[in-house]
């Protein structure tokens, strides 16, 4: 059974991601230990709330370097929600706080024409193939966010919410979802199973 | 694309579902987590647990319920009732609740809305507003311009606060969502108060959950088409087995609404 390190940097609800990954067939553990993060077969970076606060917590807990290292280690890596946003270069939510810069692009406020946060289910359209989004084109996922990436070269899937919002970003073994797969019923579970399966193959 | 959510609500007292339920094949009809899991399988978009326990041992029981819910549910869930502080919210979010509902505590000390939002993000702050139409005279000490007055303590205590103004205020303070319950409609099965829903939905830019009065599946449709609600909540029509969540969603899809289809 592949081991998945769920990076625990002291924010909000991380338990759900751990439970869902366990259900998807992984030996998933919350951890704030850099050694455990570098030893795991796969790494998940969750995140909720404020972008700057999450980045700050990651630094305060001494986990920013381990996180960045995990993204370039060649092992499967999954960012969820603000955990996705943190992989980009910056966010309008906290303009003075640089992101991890693993993926190219900026996180922007959703348009004024729609309610914020987007707090709903929305179907995703895959725009480039990836093992983690396999068989998930057109499936409904649960989104909760006020900020989003709209322009990046690393787009894998989009959804429609006032603008074309990047629902899944990634390149190579790095994947990040704006929605919460751990809260998206059986299709979210399928994505996590795809992720865990990729871990087993690597 | 904007889609509508269908949210069953479970009233919980001392860890057991109140109001009762009528599923023939359920093992323990009083267990809120087993019921919620059933709704998850039927295609519910979220679940709300409202703890109505009026005792000091409430917190441990509620936290334990949230912990079990997090193990069984793979959709978002909210726990409301008795949340008065950042620490109350933390204890629920830490074991796996996605959102907390705040009601009377927000009226008594409005700063708590912003405090929880600052600590955990607006996305997990649902402010529940219980509303009655004023019947001419103000009961809370002052007239409210919209004619809709906020009540607390399960609808027993008038506050003199205008519901529309209060909705705007809590949204500014950091609420991520409003659970708007018509106490006039609650239990009547006559449908939502869609004048109220429309007034609040037009006044704020955060999602509004319509609640109180559902008796038919068409009422769910009207909450969206007439009330402008972003989500529709119901309890008894689902608990008593009259309709499944899948029935409700199919009815709403047939009416032309956009929502996650049942499996």
Whether residue B6 contacts residue A185, with contact meaning beta carbons closer than 8 Å, is answered with: no
Question: pLDDT at residue A14 above 90?
Answer: no
The pLDDT value given to residue B154: 81
Count Cβ neighbours within 10 Å for each residue of B139-165 and write b for 16 or more, e otherwise: bbeeebebbbbbbbeebeebbebbbbe
From B130, B162, B186, B230, active-site residue: B130
Q: What is the mean pLDDT of residues A42-49?
A: 92
Question: Is it the case that residue A12 has pLDDT exceeding 60?
Answer: yes
Tell me the average pLDDT across A133-149.
96
Q: What is the pLDDT of residues A75-124, one digit of tens each?
A: 999 999 999 999 999 999 999 999 999 999 999 999 999 988 999 999 99
CB contact under 8 A, B122 and A121: no
Mutate to test the interface with B, among A119, A125, A167 (most CBs of B within 10 A): A119
Confidence class for position B186, pLDDT limits 50, 70, 90: confident
| Mean pLDDT on A61-88 | 96
Q: Give chain B positions within 8 Å (CB) of A13.
A: 70, 93-94, 96-98, 124
In the predicted model, what is the mean pLDDT of residues B49-73?
Answer: 85
Per-residue three-class SS string for chain B: CCCCEEEEEEEEECCEECCCCCCCCCCCCCCHHHHHHHHHHHCCCCEEEEECCCCCCHHHHHHHHHHHHHHHCCCCEEEECCCCCHHHHHHHHHCCCCEEEECHHHHHCCHHHHHHHHHHCHHHEEEEEEEEECCCCCCCCCCCCCCEEEEECCCCEEEEEEHHHHHHHHHHHCCCEEEEEECCCCCCCCCCCHHHHHHHHHHCCCCEEEECCCCCHHHHHHHHHCCCCCEEEECHHHHCCCCCHHHHHHHHHHCCCCCCCCC
Instruction: Say which DSSP state A153 is in.
Output: T
**Strands B125-133 vs B148-152: parallel, antiparallel or unpaired:** antiparallel
Residues B241, B236: Cα–Cα separation, whole Å: 8
| Cβ separation B40–A119 shorter than 8 A | no
| B72-85 confidence digits (pLDDT tens) | 999 999 999 889 99
Residue-level length of chain A: 202
Examine the residue annotation and report whether B130 is marked as an active-site residue of this protein: yes
Give me the percent of chain A exceeding a pLDDT of 90: 89
CA distances from B36 to A108, B26, B168 (A): 35, 11, 31
What does the pLDDT average to over B226-236?
A: 96
In the block, residue with structure tokens 């006559």: B190
Q: Range with the lowest mean pLDDT among A105-119, A146-160, B42-56?
A: B42-56
Q: Is the ipTM of this complex over 0.85?
A: yes
The per-residue pLDDT of chain B, averaged, comes to 90
User: Which position has the higher pLDDT, B222 or B29?
Assistant: B222
Q: Which of B70, B122, B230 sits opposite A15 (nearest CB)?
A: B70
Distance (Å) from the alpha carbon of B73 to chain A's nearest alpha carbon: 8
Contact A120 B40 (CB under 8 A): no
Which of B67, B97, B122 is opposite residue A117, by nearest beta carbon?
B122
Of the listed ranges A160-164, B104-108, B235-239, the one predicted with least confidence: B235-239
Look at residue A202 in the predicted model and tell me its pLDDT. Answer: 57
Model confidence at B241, pLDDT cuts 50, 70, 90, reads confident
Nearest to A144 among B94, B123, B205 (CB): B123
Q: What is the rounded distance in angstroms from the CA atom of residue A33 to the CA atom of residue B9?
A: 39
CATH for the stretch B5-254: 3.20.20.70
Q: Who's near A55: CB < 8 A, 6+ residues apart?
A: A64, A86, A94, A97, A98, A99, A100
For residue A125, the distance in angstroms to the closest alpha carbon of chain B comes to: 12
For an interface test with A, the pick among B1, B39, B48, B179 (most A C-beta atoms closer than 10 Å) comes out as B1
CATH fold of A3-201? Rossmann fold (3.40.50)
Task: Select the residue from B41, B43, B121 to test the A interface by mutation, using most A Cβ atoms within 10 A.
Answer: B121
Tokens of B103: 């009601």
Annotated catalytic, A180? yes
Reported confidence tier of residue B156, pLDDT bands at 50, 70, 90: confident
Q: Which residue of B has its CA nearest to A20?
A: B74
Count of Cβ atoms closer than 10 Å to residue A116 Cβ: 19
Cis peptide, bond prior to residue A117, ω within 30 of zero: yes
Question: By the CB < 8 Å criterion, does A184 face chain B?
Answer: yes
């Amino acid at each position: 059974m592949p081991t998945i390190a769920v990076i625990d940097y002291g924010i909000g609800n991380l338990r759900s991601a751990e439970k869902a990954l366990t259900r998807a067939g992984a030996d998933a553990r919350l951890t704030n230990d850099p050694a455990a993060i570098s030893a795991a077969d796969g790494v998940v970076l969750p995140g909720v709330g404020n972008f700057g606060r999450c980045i700050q917590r990651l630094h305060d807990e001494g986990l920013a370097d381990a996180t960045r290292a995990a993204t370039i280690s060649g092992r499967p890596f999954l960012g969820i929600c603000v955990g996705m946003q943190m992989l980009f270069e910056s966010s309008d939510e906290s303009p003075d706080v640089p992101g991890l810069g693993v993926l190219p692009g900026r996180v922007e406020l959703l348009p004024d024409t729609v309610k914020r946060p987007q707090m709903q289910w929305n179907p995703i359209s895959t725009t480039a193939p990836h093992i983690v989004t396999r068989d998930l084109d057109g499936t409904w996922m649960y989104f909760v966010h006020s900020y989003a990436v709209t322009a990046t070269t690393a787009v894998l899937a989009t959804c429609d919410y006032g603008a074309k919002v990047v629902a899944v970003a990634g390149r190579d073994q790095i994947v990040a979802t704006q929605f919460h797969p751990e809260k998206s019923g059986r299709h979210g579970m399928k994505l996590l199973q795809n992720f865990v399966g990729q871990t087993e193959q690597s | 694309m904007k889609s509508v959510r269908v949210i069953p609500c479970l009233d919980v007292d001392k860890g057991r579902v109140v109001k009762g339920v009528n599923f023939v094949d359920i093992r323990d009809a009083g267990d809120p987590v087993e019921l919620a899991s059933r709704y998850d399988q039927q295609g519910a978009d979220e679940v709300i647990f409202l703890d109505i326990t009026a005792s000091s041992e409430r917190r441990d029981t509620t936290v334990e319920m949230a912990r079990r819910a997090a193990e069984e549910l793979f959709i978002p869930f909210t726990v409301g009732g008795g949340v008065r502080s950042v620490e109350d919210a933390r204890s629920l979010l830490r074991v796996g609740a996605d959102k907390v509902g705040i009601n009377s505590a927000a009226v008594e000390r409005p700063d708590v809305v912003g405090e929880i939002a600052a600590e955990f993000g607006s996305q997990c702050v649902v402010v529940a507003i219980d509303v009655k139409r004023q019947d001419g005279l103000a009961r809370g000490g002052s007239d409210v311009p919209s004619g809709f007055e906020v009540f607390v303590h399960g609808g027993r205590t008038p506050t003199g606060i205008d519901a529309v103004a209060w909705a705007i205020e809590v949204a500014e303070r950091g609420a991520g969502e409003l659970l708007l319950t018509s106490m006039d409609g609650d239990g009547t099965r006559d449908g939502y108060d869609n004048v109220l829903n429309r007034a609040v939905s037009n006044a704020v830019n955060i999602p509004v959950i319509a609640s109180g009065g559902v008796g038919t599946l068409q009422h769910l449709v009207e909450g969206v088409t007439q009330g402008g609600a972003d989500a529709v909540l119901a309890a008894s029509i689902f608990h008593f087995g009259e309709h499944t969540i899948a029935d409700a969603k199919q009815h709403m899809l047939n009416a032309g609404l956009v929502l996650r289809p049942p499996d």
